[in-house]
Amino acid sequence: MFQKILIANRGEIALRVLRACKELGIQTVVVHSTADADAMHVRLADESVCIGPPPSRDSYLNIHQIVAACEITGADAVHPGYGFLSENAKFADILAAHNITFIGPSGDHIRIMGDKIEAKRTAKRLGIPVVPGSDGAVTEEKEARRIAAEIGYPVIIKASAGGGGRGMKVAHTEADLEIALQTARSEAGAAFGDDAVYIEKYLEKPRHIEVQVFGDGFGGGVHFGERDCSLQRRHQKVWEEANSPALNAEERSRIGGICAKAIADLGYSGAGTIEFLYENGEFYFIEMNTRLQVEHPVTEAITGIDLVHEQVRVASGGGLSVKQEDIKFNGHAIECRINAEDPRTFTPSPGTITHFHTPGGLGIRVDSGVYSGYKIPPYYDSLIGKLIVHGRNRVECMMRLRRALDEFVVDGIKTTLPLFRDLVGNADIANGDYDIHWLEKYLAKGE
């Protein structure tokens, strides 16, 4: 087991990882920018190292400073959290070269999944169902026309190097194709420095369903069920559930089994998430994230297993604490992402939180790094906390969520709490009847 873990992140996830390390009796080091000197995880860590000024590129993305912080403090492993360097293959490689363990998969696996064409090809080879489309990059309009005609319109053109929902264009008819191909390529080139694009069938009303997987580091793989993250705004997840209201037990174990086997065949190590669009009973792979996800607590709620403990165990060569047959799904969980944003316009609302009171009671978990008097710096993303609610079934979970949202007080800044108070009373949400476009349509109606 590791002696000392350095946490290369900030905010709620830095605190989340710190808690797991403390429980495992591992010493903790956190790195922080000058803007985060007062952060909760900095106060609670055994050691802290200031690695630079507020902009992420000078601090949380500064690989040399982070490696130096490991060497100064004698940390033998790094947990990258999510975002920042968590899917940076070069960072994983550099740590390995310094004999520091990256708590995550190998640089090679990160690289494969970071290239969407390569990821899709790999998924297909491993027996994961993918969206029908081109086999690789498409440059010629003639070829694009042929593929689109074969799979049928509408089609979506996506950047191979894409991320964050950028560089995607939909063509509804053949007449739209030329312009969609050109715009997607020039946007991809400008945003990612790589203009490779590929074509897939555009699904009209899918749900976003993702499977939590783990490779044990010895060639074995398991799944921890799925999460439904269909409620999104601008491709950003807003509300997540486990299990998905759309799947039955048979579908769950079928797709879970396919993913667990793929992970084993790939020789993957650590936590990963295989993301699908789901429509008319079919799953279509879109991408794999090679890290812990923001929404991992809903999986923890229904399985009772601490996924960060498992990440640390696997990275240290100790394997998983559970086998597939030990992983049972108990009840239902929902997570609301609470952002420091205007609940109608979603413009960021940084500033000082004058009062912060979190709900409590059975089945309630709040993961947050903020406190009364905390000043939210304007440099980073606007997530200030996550409310995770667990119940014996979805109905109980929703009743408890409504109660918890009523208790939650955040004064001094605007937050997205009012949006969740609206959603929890909505009939479609109560019925679990929504697809990936539902929230955008709902928000458009409210204006």
Interacting residues with ligand ADP between 129 and 188 (CB under 6 A): 131, 156, 162-166, 168
**291 belongs to the catalytic site:** yes
| Position 202 contacts ligand ADP (CB under 6 A) | yes
**Position among 436, 438, 439, 442 found at the interface with ligand ADP (CB under 6 A):** 436
By three-state DSSP, how is residue 203 classified? Answer: coil
Question: Are 320 and 411 a contacting pair, CB within 8 Å?
Answer: no
The residue (of 124 and 323) whose beta carbon lies closer to ligand ADP is: 124
- Which of 5-13, 32-40, 51-59, 197-205 is the region at the interface with ligand ADP (rule: CB under 6 A)? 197-205
| Position 333 contacts ligand ADP (CB under 6 A) | no
Q: How many residues bind ligand ADP (CB under 6 A)?
A: 20
| Position 110 contacts ligand ADP (CB under 6 A) | no
The CA-atom distances, in angstroms, between 251 and each of 243, 272, 325 are: 11, 20, 17
Q: Copy the structure tokens of residue 173.
A: 């008819």
Minimum CB separation of residue 158 from ligand ADP in Å reads 6
Cα–Cα distance, 395 to 87 (Å, whole number): 36
Question: Are 77 and 101 a contacting pair, CB within 8 Å?
Answer: yes
Q: Which of 111, 207, 252, 291 is catalytic?
A: 291
**Position among 40, 286, 292, 353 found at the interface with ligand ADP (CB under 6 A):** 286
The residue (of 115 and 275) whose beta carbon lies closer to ligand ADP is: 275
Strands 168-171 and 355-357: unpaired
Binding mask 220-239 for ligand ADP (x = CB under 6 A): ---------------x----
Q: What is the DSSP string of 353-400?
A: -SEEE---STTEEEEES--TTPEEPTTS--EEEEEEEEESSHHHHHHH
Phi, psi angle pair for 201, to nearest 5°: -65, 135
| Position 241 contacts ligand ADP (CB under 6 A) | no
**Position among 203, 264, 308, 417 found at the interface with ligand ADP (CB under 6 A):** 203
Minimum CB separation of residue 346 from ligand ADP in Å reads 17
| Position 117 contacts ligand ADP (CB under 6 A) | no
- Sorted by sequence, the CB contacts under 8 Å of residue 444 that are 6+ apart come out as none
Q: Copy the structure tokens of residue 109.
A: 């696996």
Minimum CB separation of residue 1 from ligand ADP in Å reads 34
The residue (of 84 and 202) whose beta carbon lies closer to ligand ADP is: 202
The residue (of 8 and 229) whose beta carbon lies closer to ligand ADP is: 229
On the 0-12 / 13-18 / 19+ scale of CB atoms within 10 A, 62 is: buried
The residue (of 136 and 418) whose beta carbon lies closer to ligand ADP is: 136
Strands 332-339 and 383-391: antiparallel
The residue (of 401 and 436) whose beta carbon lies closer to ligand ADP is: 436
CA of residue 197 relative to chain centroid, distance: 23
Minimum CB separation of residue 179 from ligand ADP in Å reads 19
Cα–Cα distance, 417 to 339 (Å, whole number): 8
Residues engaged in binding ligand ADP (CB under 6 A): 131, 156, 162-166, 168, 200-203, 206, 208, 235, 275, 277, 286-287, 436
The catalytic residues are 291
